[in-house]
A and B are shown apart, each in its own frame.
Chain A
Amino acid sequence: MISRYRLGTYSMRVIVYGVLILLLVITIIPIWLLIVNATRSTTEIQQGVSALPSTHLLENFRILESKGINMGRGFANSLFVAVASTVVAVYFGFLTAYGIVIYDFKGRNLFMSFVILLVLIPMQFSIVGFFQYMSRLGLTDNYASLILPLVASAGAVFFAKQYLESVVVRELIDAARIDGASELGIFHRVMMPLAIPGAATLGIFAFVAAWNNFFNAFILISSLEKYTLPMLVQTLRGDVYRTEYGAIYLGLAITVVPIIVMYVFFARYIISGIAMGAMKE
């Protein structure tokens, strides 16, 4: 009886690990091919698939540059937009959440329910109205149109609220009040330092979201020198690159590898960040 039970568990375990390895291979292969092919010459890529990197990284980079698409500038543009978006989303996310968690005001619960509704139903449907409005304000082809809406990032508020509820120490706030600190000062000098781990997790999410954002940038930004990386990726598929496979893969790798590197360092925070709110309060 016991041995049959053990045998059942054992064979089940074999099946489970088999499935896990299969899923892992499926998950990793496309990414691995991308990185490997970025280092191979176009001829090598045409000759067949390889699992090992080659030595043509610099050559591919030169081809990429010679075609007139400035990946370096795209990288700088993306970095600027992503960092600014992150700062805005994190700061205002925590500011709003602090207001909800600390102060007991009328309409507080209603406001929170409203924020959750906004998390569930994003405003992507109104992008055309947003575009026309921005063009009337003269903010199209301007990064402000990408960054300013993040003042009201519902996802950031929701995350920050979940986080603050677990770290807030009311005695500390009262002590700061007695010492004569202003309410905003308490938020900046007492609460934010306490919330740094949560702010970092939220910041990673905000950064990745802004870094990967294609749709909004594609609609709002029009001049080539302001293109962010996702928009440059789109031009990589054009005729100029038709026969330069190595350079195409390298261009894609440039957009994807920084995020993978970041993930290697912060995976723990990212995974626990996603899972965090799932626990009942």
Chain B
Amino acid sequence: MRTGRLSTTSYGYLFIAPFIIGFLLFGLYPVYNTLALSLTNTTMMTREAHFIGLENFKRLFADDFFMKAVTNSWLIWLLNFIPQIGIALLLSAWFMNIRLKIRAVGMWRTLFFLPNLLMPAAVAALFFSLFSYYGPANQLMVTAGLQSEAIHYLQKIATTRGLLVFIQWWTWFGWTTIIIMAGMTAIPIHLFEAAMVDGASAGQMFTQITLPLLKPILIFVFVTSLVGGMTMFDIPFLLTDGRGSPASSIMTNNILMYLKFSSSKGHIAFASSVGVLVFIMTTVCALGIFYFLRDREGKATAVPETAPASPPGKGRQPA
């Protein structure tokens, strides 16, 4: 036996070392750098940067565009998340229902999930084409007599926002359904059997057994979706002109950050402060979700043990 041989337990550190080094270099340092930048007046044009304290943040709050971006992000996220989780719960309940015996559950799930895999940039360009003035949406609606004439969908605030909300929902309801179904499968069947013996109705079983036991999964869906909604970029950016038109109605947090970043002066310090503020806002809200949905019996909800695997490496960008 060689001397100085490491005990097998310390091999653990060797195996996780690349991750830790990678994280420090490419995860943590950029976070620090973003924070540091947000306190300066750095631009891409100048070599020197001066510490200016919270000046960027003051300017952001005084700027209507920031509040607009935050409001838009929340509005678009909520308007798509509520129907998304609603449909997902409904579909899961139907698919799992023993009495209904829905056929080919696997096939339905598989097809509903498909939009999630498509390139968001292509999806945005696709809907841009479909809903253009001479596009298929207008052609279909006019032929069917639902519209008397073609509409400039992407020049109206309501239809543009509505379309964005629809695309987000279209992309993510299949994913949420799969997650929630997995959560329901994990609920022991004897709980339902016991409830049935006690004469509980389907509705009672859903609210008294299914929902409470789904809590960890629901927290996971909430939080990942929230983070995705607050960082939404590809689709709103490419759906119209890259500035959130019409009238900044789909300008989201990340679009604003990008606009500051790519402005003629390349004001990267200002762009960083957008990132920092959105990060703080998102984290506080995510913690809020944990807090309000935790187990009231004093036992902390064990999200770590029961959180489903997100599409790994994806850095989920739902909304």
Contact = CB atoms under 8 A, between A and B. Distances in A.
A181 interface: no
A167 interface: no
A55 interface: no
A183 B15 CA distance: 9
Contacts of A45: 136
Interface core residue of A158, A245, A278 (most chain B CB under 10 Å): A278
Contact of B121 (A152, A208, A230): A230
B178 A275 contact: yes
A233 B126 CA distance: 10
Contact of B119 (A93, A126, A149, A230): A230
Interface in A251-281: 252, 255-256, 259-260, 263, 267-268, 270-271, 273-281
Interface in B209-239: 217, 220, 223-224, 227, 231, 233-234, 238
A130 interface: yes
B85 interface: no
Nearest to A155: B312
Given A93-B312, A124-B231, A278 B183 contact: yes
Give the contact-size bracket for chain B: 35 or more
Contact of B19 (A48, A96, A130, A271): A96
A236 B125 contact: yes
Given A99-B11, A274-B179, A275-B179, A233 B122 contact: yes
A130 B313 contact: no
A143 interface: no
A44 B286 CA distance: 49
Interface string A201-245: 010011011111011000100000000011101101100000001
Given A12-B100, A129-B31, A280-B306, A152 B118 contact: no
Contacts of A122: 227, 231, 315-316
Interface in B248-295: 254, 257-258, 261, 268, 271-272, 275-276, 278-279, 282-283, 286
B159 interface: no
Contact of A133 (B29, B282, B303, B313): B29
A123 to B, nearest CB: 5
B30 A129 contact: yes
Given A120-B223, A131-B268, A276 B119 contact: no
Contacts of A131: 261, 268
Contacts of A132: 33, 37, 42, 268
Contact of A256 (B22, B118, B181, B316): B118
B32 A116 contact: no
A213 B208 CA distance: 41
A233 B129 contact: no
A271 B16 contact: no
Contacts of B14: 99, 183
Interface string B19-35: 11111011101111111
12 contacts: A95-B19, A125-B231, A126-B30, A155-B313, A158-B312, A230-B119, A252-B129, A274-B310, A275-B308, A276-B309, A278-B179, A278-B306
Query: Top 7 closest A-B pairs, CB basis?
Result: A99-B15, A129-B34, A103-B12, A277-B309, A278-B182, A151-B22, A129-B33
Interface of B: 8-16, 18-23, 25-27, 29-37, 42, 87, 91, 94, 99-102, 106, 108-115, 117-123, 125-130, 134, 136, 139-140, 143, 170, 174-175, 178-179, 181-183, 185-186, 217, 220, 223-224, 227, 231, 233-234, 238, 254, 257-258, 261, 268, 271-272, 275-276, 278-279, 282-283, 286, 303-316
